[in-house]
Structure 1
Protein backbone atom coordinates (compact mmCIF):
# COMPACT_ATOMS: atom_id res chain seq x y z
CA UNK A 1 0.00 0.00 0.00
CA UNK A 2 1.22 3.53 -0.82
CA UNK A 3 2.46 5.55 2.14
CA UNK A 4 2.98 9.33 1.97
CA UNK A 5 6.59 10.43 2.22
CA UNK A 6 7.87 12.64 4.99
CA UNK A 7 7.98 16.35 4.30
CA UNK A 8 11.35 17.82 3.26
CA UNK A 9 12.52 20.56 5.59
CA UNK A 10 12.68 24.12 4.29
CA UNK A 11 16.43 24.39 4.88
CA UNK A 12 17.15 21.19 2.93
CA UNK A 13 14.94 22.41 0.09
CA UNK A 14 16.77 25.78 0.06
CA UNK A 15 20.18 24.09 0.00
CA UNK A 16 19.22 21.93 -2.98
CA UNK A 17 17.71 24.90 -4.81
CA UNK A 18 20.83 27.03 -4.29
CA UNK A 19 23.06 24.19 -5.47
CA UNK A 20 20.96 23.90 -8.64
CA UNK A 21 21.15 27.68 -9.21
CA UNK A 22 24.92 27.66 -8.70
CA UNK A 23 25.34 25.13 -11.53
CA UNK A 24 23.49 27.47 -13.89
CA UNK A 25 25.61 30.42 -12.76
CA UNK A 26 28.88 28.64 -13.59
CA UNK A 27 27.54 27.47 -16.97
CA UNK A 28 26.54 31.04 -17.86
CA UNK A 29 29.93 32.35 -16.73
CA UNK A 30 31.77 29.85 -18.94
CA UNK A 31 29.54 30.65 -21.92
CA UNK A 32 30.12 34.38 -21.47
CA UNK A 33 33.87 33.85 -21.18
CA UNK A 34 33.92 31.80 -24.39
CA UNK A 35 31.85 34.43 -26.23
CA UNK A 36 34.21 37.15 -25.05
CA UNK A 37 37.29 35.24 -26.23
CA UNK A 38 35.65 34.52 -29.60
CA UNK A 39 34.73 38.16 -30.14
CA UNK A 40 38.27 39.35 -29.38
CA UNK A 41 39.87 36.53 -31.37
CA UNK A 42 41.82 35.11 -28.41
CA UNK A 43 40.11 31.72 -28.34
CA UNK A 44 42.50 28.77 -28.24
CA UNK A 45 39.99 25.96 -27.78
CA UNK A 46 37.32 26.93 -30.29
CA UNK A 47 37.79 27.23 -34.06
CA UNK A 48 35.78 29.81 -35.97
CA UNK A 49 36.10 30.80 -39.62
CA UNK A 50 37.26 34.38 -39.89
CA UNK A 51 35.53 36.61 -42.44
CA UNK A 52 37.89 38.00 -45.03
CA UNK A 53 37.95 41.77 -45.31
CA UNK A 54 37.59 43.12 -48.82
CA UNK A 55 40.12 45.76 -49.71
CA UNK A 56 38.75 48.58 -51.83
CA UNK A 57 42.02 49.93 -53.21
CA UNK A 58 41.51 51.78 -56.47
Structure 2
Protein backbone atom coordinates (compact mmCIF):
# COMPACT_ATOMS: atom_id res chain seq x y z
CA UNK A 1 0.00 0.00 0.00
CA UNK A 2 1.30 3.46 -0.92
CA UNK A 3 2.25 5.73 1.95
CA UNK A 4 2.67 9.49 1.47
CA UNK A 5 6.14 10.87 2.10
CA UNK A 6 6.86 13.20 5.00
CA UNK A 7 6.80 16.90 4.23
CA UNK A 8 10.19 18.63 3.87
CA UNK A 9 10.58 21.51 6.30
CA UNK A 10 10.76 25.07 4.99
CA UNK A 11 14.23 25.58 6.47
CA UNK A 12 15.59 22.53 4.61
CA UNK A 13 14.08 23.81 1.37
CA UNK A 14 15.70 27.22 1.91
CA UNK A 15 19.10 25.66 2.64
CA UNK A 16 18.99 23.60 -0.57
CA UNK A 17 17.77 26.55 -2.64
CA UNK A 18 20.47 28.84 -1.27
CA UNK A 19 23.13 26.22 -2.04
CA UNK A 20 22.09 26.22 -5.71
CA UNK A 21 21.86 30.01 -5.80
CA UNK A 22 25.39 30.34 -4.38
CA UNK A 23 26.73 27.86 -6.93
CA UNK A 24 25.13 29.79 -9.80
CA UNK A 25 26.39 33.10 -8.43
CA UNK A 26 30.03 31.95 -8.23
CA UNK A 27 29.85 30.48 -11.75
CA UNK A 28 28.41 33.73 -13.10
CA UNK A 29 31.16 35.71 -11.35
CA UNK A 30 33.86 33.56 -12.93
CA UNK A 31 32.29 33.90 -16.37
CA UNK A 32 31.97 37.68 -15.98
CA UNK A 33 35.57 37.95 -14.78
CA UNK A 34 36.83 35.97 -17.79
CA UNK A 35 34.74 38.06 -20.17
CA UNK A 36 36.14 41.25 -18.66
CA UNK A 37 39.74 40.08 -18.98
CA UNK A 38 39.21 39.05 -22.62
CA UNK A 39 37.48 42.34 -23.41
CA UNK A 40 40.26 44.46 -21.89
CA UNK A 41 43.00 42.31 -23.46
CA UNK A 42 44.72 41.54 -20.15
CA UNK A 43 44.07 37.82 -20.39
CA UNK A 44 47.20 35.68 -20.76
CA UNK A 45 45.73 32.18 -20.53
CA UNK A 46 42.81 32.53 -22.93
CA UNK A 47 43.35 32.70 -26.68
CA UNK A 48 40.76 33.46 -29.36
* Alpha-carbon distance between aligned partners in 2 of 1:10 and 1:24, rounded to the nearest angstrom: 21
How many residue pairs get matched? Answer: 48
Computing the radius of gyration over CA atoms, which structure comes out larger, 1 or 2?
1
Q: CA deviation at 1:29?
A: 0.2
Q: Which runs of 5+ in 1 are unaligned?
A: 49-58
Q: Which runs of 4+ in 1 moved over 2 A?
A: none
* Alpha-carbon distance between aligned partners in 2 of 1:3 and 1:38, rounded to the nearest angstrom: 56
Q: How does 1:1-58 map to 2 (within 5 A)?
A: 1-48=1-48
User: RMSD in angstroms over aligned alpha carbons?
Assistant: 0.9
Q: CA deviation at 1:4?
A: 1.1
* Structure with more of its chain in helix, by fraction: 2
